[in-house]
Amino acid sequence: MTPEEYDNDVGPFLAVFAALLLDNALRLDETVGRVTDFVMASKPSRELIVTLQSFDRLKQEFEALGDALTRYAEAHHAAPLNAEEHSQLQEHVIAGITVADLKDRMLSRLQDDLPDLPAPAITPEQAAEIGVDVVY
């Protein structure tokens, strides 16, 4: 595969990731809705309501990322890009992100001078749960 063919193949690959990310956001929204219904059957505490709002914020960020990936994949797949056009595409995609905090975090991660951030430590219990599907 030539570099040009590889560049043109990236768009569909990213589109699949975007679709899966948006599917997961939808599933998260459905799960939060069921949890909210369950919690609201009793008198919820303030902390529980704030936690549910955090889930909603996370869902919004997943949707924003999925949308940005979709727009990037579609534009990238449309035609080969030179370096300047690629940079403009990235700026356009990032400018379209509506969650301000997410946009700021993305921009800071794209800066070349940032050191690599280590992954957060996880407990052995969390490690055992990775990759395990739970069916209710």
**Whole-prediction pTM value?**
0.63
- Longest CA–CA span in the chain (Å) reads 61
For residue 99, give its domain range: 3-114
Considering the domain boundaries, does residue 20 fall inside one?
yes
Number of domains in the chain: 1
Rounded to the nearest angstrom, the gap between the alpha carbon of residue 13 and the centroid of all alpha carbons in its chain is 15
pLDDT in tens, the chain (136 residues): 455 555 556 767 777 888 888 888 888 888 888 888 888 888 888 888 888 888 888 888 888 888 888 888 887 777 667 778 877 888 888 888 888 888 888 888 777 655 555 666 777 776 676 655 544 4
Considering the domain boundaries, does residue 33 fall inside one?
yes
Considering the domain boundaries, does residue 132 fall inside one?
no
Considering the domain boundaries, does residue 128 fall inside one?
no
CA atoms in the 13 A half-sphere facing the CB of 59: 16
Considering the domain boundaries, does residue 53 fall inside one?
yes
